[in-house]
A = this chain, B = another copy of it.
Amino acid sequence: MTIQNRRERERAERHQLIIDAARELAEAEGWDAVTTRRLAEKVEYSQPVLYSHFKGKDAIVRAVAIEGCGVLARQLRQARSAQGKSRLRAAAEAYLEFAETRPALYDAMFVQQVDIPFGTDDVPQELRDAFGELVAAVEPVVGERDLETLTEVFWSAMHGIATLTHGKRLRPDHHEARLELVLGALSLAEQKNGL
């Protein structure tokens, strides 16, 4: 079975190679530049090889997106142990920095409608992890509010700021002021509720 093993291993490596190439190409030149021809050229195989690994281009983007969720989850986790600031602020800053420094990756994850299963279906673990980190960040300020709902609102606010900023819809300076304001709103409301 060693031969079979070797083949499977090589196949898995190439699978990852394709995902990495797609992400690199997208991050370097945007998703418009990620065509099956260019991607095939980058991995030094012909186009049909891509289709022996993925059902189509969408599936490749989806794979990149899911990996991206893992990256985001790790960065949020890392931010959790930051000193000198609240968990909510640390998570917010980490989230927005991720969206800003890796816009193509963020785009695949949350902007393009790649319909990754989010509902009751088997949600990828990476997504669970990322959302879990958001929940953990929100928990200290939840007060009497519903934790998951508050997390969704927090996420929505972060996502809105991230995408509108990227689309140049918000004043570039004032980024800090917006962050201050949204954190204040969510936290102060908690204090009020807690009375």
Contacts and interface: CB of A to CB of B under 8 A. Distances in A.
Chain A: interface residue count, which band? 35 or more
A82 interface: no
What secondary structure prevails in chain A residues at the interface with B?
A: helix
A54 interface: no
A178 B161 contact: no
A71 interface: no
Chain copies in the assembly?
A: 2
Interface in A98-120: 110-111, 113, 115, 118-119
Interface in A165-195: 166-171, 174, 177-178, 181-182, 184-186, 188-189, 191-193
Contacts of A59: none
Given A119-B168, A164-B110, A185-B185, A157 B157 contact: yes
A57 interface: no
8 contacts: A110-B163, A115-B167, A149-B178, A150-B181, A156-B157, A159-B164, A160-B161, A185-B188
Interface of A: 110-111, 113, 115, 118-119, 145-146, 148-150, 152-153, 155-161, 163-164, 166-171, 174, 177-178, 181-182, 184-186, 188-189, 191-193
